[in-house]
Amino acid sequence: MTQAAQSWVRIPPDSEFPLENLPYGVFADAHGRPHIGVAAGDSIFDLHEAAHAGLFDGVVSRAVLTAPTMNLLLAAGRDAWSALRKRIRELLQDAPALLEGVNRDALVVGRPQAKLVLPFAAGDYVDFYSSLEHATNLGKIFRPDGEPLMPNWRWIPIGYHGRTSTIVIDGTPIVRPSGQHKAPSEPVPVFGPSRLLDIELEIGFVTGPGNRMGAPIPIESARDHIFGLVLVNDWSARDIQAWEYQPLGPFLAKNFCTSISPWVVTLEALEPFKKPLPQQDPEPLPYLRAKNDFMFDIHLEARLQTSSMTAPQIITNTNFQNLYWSIAQQLAHHTVNGCNLEPGDLLASGT
């Protein structure tokens, strides 16, 4: 993001966290207690302490910002999110009168030294399969003699339900999973550690206010139910997956771990990067159509470094706007049968 606004908090010119970004996260204070904060340059602006100082009175309840997770904030809704973001920017800009008589040093902590924790408690997790290229490539691997895409793929956003208990923050060590796998040339399956452990570079979105069971969320209202985006690594044991995925889909191949980034970037911060959703063929059914559906122009890159390598190597370059199904379509499809979402649910895009 390009930095324009100036702040009393040190923000290097090339920082990924200018005032135009202000992603939310949760960090442990000196006593190990979780505090909600926003990243600004090399610092974290402590919303917990700022709320205690009365800096958000009349904007957002103190209880929302002093909670141990972001879930109450997620439930507060878009008007509260916008008002809070506006006040945070006012507080962080140069010489704000709002901070007169307040100890600024008590409101910031060093970001590199902070211990980050999961920012929200995910009640449910769904991983979609929304990339045409990924679905085609995986189909060629799993069905080499058949059609790569299943007949329903271009009609509905395909997804599966995952485990929230194994959602972890980026950097958490991963234990190689074990399970059954069977090569085509083997007469029977064998049990043992996965020999084809894979990563999936994804972006996920975090839900805000949910919906009542039996009351679908219309696609035109999807933005009101999406707080922001996180990076997601959907760890995948491909050999286990190839043996188990038919007829019900992934199970042990996916449920052992999902890593997410510690920072949640709001849709409001991403507004300058919004792009129209490309035309889809065939045209989706009416409940999946929105007049101004959108994607985001977000460059994504993954690097890999093994123990025998001296430096990481780029293994993929891509862009979030290349997805076939939009996040609004994913959310609308998830709820069209009356399924209820709750604040803090995680919905990932697929590779």
Catalytic residues: 134
CA distance 82 to 27: 22
Read off the tokens for 310: 């001296």
Task: Pick the closest to residue 92 from 48, 35, 50 (CA basis).
Answer: 50
Query: Backbone dihedral region of 146: left (phi > 0), alpha (psi from -120 to 50 degrees) or beta?
Result: beta
Cis, bond preceding 247 (omega within 30 deg of 0): yes
What CA–CA distance (Å, rounded) separates 341 from 26? 22
Give the closest residue to 242 by CA, choosing from 307, 201, 303, 195.
195
Q: Which amino acid is at 30?
A: A
Q: Per the structure block, which two tokens stand in for 247?
A: 């007829």
d(CA 178, CA 252): 8
